[in-house]
């Protein structure tokens, strides 16, 4: 894990008094909020009142990269689903309320946010289940003579677990490779590579276009995990000819805890895609109850069993928060928020107490900032006690996620100020770089 000294693009003079620094950056934050074209979107979420924010009593929520905030449209929609669609219409809602078509319909709502056309995304099951479908389905489409699956060596653990299980079932080997090395390591024996678009620890953005092209040049397929990029930045699945992709919906898409994940299959591959989990919902004629399985046409073959209607329709309502929003504008604000946070941390945090493990280069940064510091777990506990909600990863990484639909520049400035107070109150310790990793 590399570390980057905190050197803001618009540095505050190091000799300036703390009060003056705070006042200058707080004023700058208010100016940035006033000019922010996405600022009004915060009102689409059930966060805090304007009075609470003005008094400093509201929590600053910087953990949307783990669980997004509640969109205001969701409670009323779910109440209607429970009381009318389930309570009154009951079984009729599968047709009259559109329950049966919800996996594809919600998939089409997510598709523009990840650069996919209609009919290429289906929603249902967990990320892990969709990873299994994608990896095994990808191996089945790979050329004869393939002997290995490449796995992002920095991946979220579940991806590795699933890849190894899929490899055992298909008789292939798994080879971990750093994402930057995949282009050099792929061979004609590689069936596919499973890669995280954004590193969950560091927030580093991997090169989806370049890695996908390199895999295709060797005859391998590209399978991407979009959990930390869907809803945070443009992905361009169709434009970059990605083969298969999966992602969760409870982070930047704000679908709620445990909301169903999505599966993307490139249109030209759909008729060849053979799911390792053939269920009645993906049958060409589900209600025929035929003992012989015939897959449905198109993306519907990515379905398995009966969808989780309550979570699925909560997600559909949550996606209304994206109405009229361009993902390119979200990316612009994301980079501005993370730049400003790094600048504020550089101004407020005592020298040597924290180092960024998130790249400063915009082309290599997702929508989070990770800081290495000693005692990160205890530091985060204290931040949360003071109303700044982020999270940490062992052994020493503080993670701050920035959701442009509702995170403000004022949030960012206050969070960095509190972080500076917390770290400044700690006894002197060794360099923040010591033991960074994980």
45-80 CB burial, b ≥16 within 10 A, e <16 = bebeeeeebeeeebbbbbbbbbbbbbbbbbeebbee
Residue 333 bears catalytic tag: no
C-alpha dist (Å) from residue 196 to 51, 117, 130: 40, 21, 14
Distance CA 97, CA 392 (A): 42
Catalytic residue status for 225: yes
Which of 339, 321, 160 lies closest to 249 in space, CA to CA? 321
Question: Could you give the 3-state DSSP secondary structure of residue 273?
Answer: coil
Q: How many CB atoms lie within 10 A of CB 127?
A: 23
59, 98, 143, 147, 381 from 405: Cα distances, Å: 16, 28, 43, 44, 26
293 is catalytic: no
Cα 175 to the center of its chain, rounded Å? 24
d(CA 64, CA 253): 9
**In whole angstroms, what is the distance from residue 205 CA to residue 406 CA?**
22
Q: Which residues does residue 177 pair with via DSSP β-bridges, in sequence order?
A: 152
Catalytic residue, chosen from 42, 201, 251, 301, is 251
Identify the helix (H) or strand (E) that includes residue 136: helix 127-141
- Is residue 399 part of the annotated active site? The answer reads yes
Name the active-site residue from 61, 250, 262, 406. Answer: 250
Q: Is 156 labeled as catalytic in the residue annotation?
A: yes
Active-site pick, 399, 400, 409, 414:
399
The number of helices, as runs of H, and strands, as runs of E, in the chain is: 13, 13
Active-site residue identified among 125, 152, 159, 225: 225
List the catalytic residue out of 30, 80, 156, 393.
156
Cα separation values, 54 from 116, 145, 417, Å: 40, 64, 16
Per-residue CA distances from 175 to 33, 150, 171, 215, 438 (Å)? 46, 5, 13, 15, 19
CA distance 296 to 306: 15
* Coil, helix or strand at residue 86: helix
Q: Before 395, cis peptide (omega within 30)?
A: yes
> Which CA distances in Å does 80 have to 163, 179, 373, 424?
40, 45, 47, 50
Residues 6+ positions from 398 with CB-CB distance below 8 Å = 354, 370, 371, 372, 373, 376, 379, 380, 383, 390, 391, 392, 419
Active-site residue set: 156, 225, 250-251, 399
């Amino acid at each position: 894990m590399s570390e980057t000294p905190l050197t803001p693009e618009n540095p505050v003079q190091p000799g300036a008094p703390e009060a003056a620094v705070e006042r200058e950056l707080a004023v700058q934050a208010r100016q940035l909020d006033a000019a922010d074209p996405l600022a009004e979107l915060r009102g689409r979420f059930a966060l805090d009142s304007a009075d609470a924010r003005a008094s400093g009593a509201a929590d600053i929520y910087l953990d949307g990269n783990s669980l997004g905030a509640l969109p205001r449209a969701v409670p009323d929609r779910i109440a209607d689903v429970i009381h009318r669609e389930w309570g009154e219409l009951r079984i009729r809602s599968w047709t009259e309320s559109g329950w049966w078509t919800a996996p594809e319909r919600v998939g089409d709502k997510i598709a523009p946010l990840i650069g996919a056309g209609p009919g290429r995304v289906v929603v249902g099951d967990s990320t892990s289940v969709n990873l299994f479908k994608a990896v095994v389905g990808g191996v089945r489409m790979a050329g004869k003579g393939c002997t290995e699956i490449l796995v992002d060596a920095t991946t979220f653990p579940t991806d590795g677990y699933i890849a190894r299980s899929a490899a055992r079932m298909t008789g292939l080997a798994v080879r971990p490779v750093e994402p930057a090395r995949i282009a050099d390591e792929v061979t004609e024996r590689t069936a596919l590579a499973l890669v995280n678009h954004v590193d969950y620890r560091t927030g580093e953005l991997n090169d989806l276009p370049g890695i996908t092209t390199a895999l295709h040049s060797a005859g391998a397929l590209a399978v991407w995990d979009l959990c930390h990029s869907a809803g945070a930045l443009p992905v361009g699945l169709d434009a970059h000819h990605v083969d298969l992709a999966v992602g969760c919906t409870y982070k930047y898409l704000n679908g709620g805890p445990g909301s169903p994940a999505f599966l993307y299959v490139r249109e030209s591959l759909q008729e060849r895609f053979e799911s390792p989990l053939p269920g009645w919902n993906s049958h060409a004629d589900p209600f025929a109850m035929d003992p012989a399985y015939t897959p449905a046409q198109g993306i519907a073959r990515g379905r398995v069993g009966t969808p989780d209607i309550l979570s699925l329709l909560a997600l559909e309502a949550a996606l209304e928060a994206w109405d009229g929003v361009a993902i390119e504008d979200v990316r612009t604000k994301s980079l501005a928020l993370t730049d400003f946070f790094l600048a504020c941390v550089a101004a407020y945090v005592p020298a040597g107490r924290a180092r960024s493990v998130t790249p400063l280069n915009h082309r290599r940064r997702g929508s989070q900032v990770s800081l290495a510091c000693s005692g990160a777990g205890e530091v985060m506990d204290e931040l949360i006690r003071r109303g700044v909600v982020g999270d940490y990863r062992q052994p020493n990484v503080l993670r701050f996620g920035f959701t442009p639909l509702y995170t403000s520049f004022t949030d960012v400035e206050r969070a960095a100020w509190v972080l500076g107070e917390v770290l400044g109150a700690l006894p002197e310790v060794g360099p923040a770089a010591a033991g960074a990793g994980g």
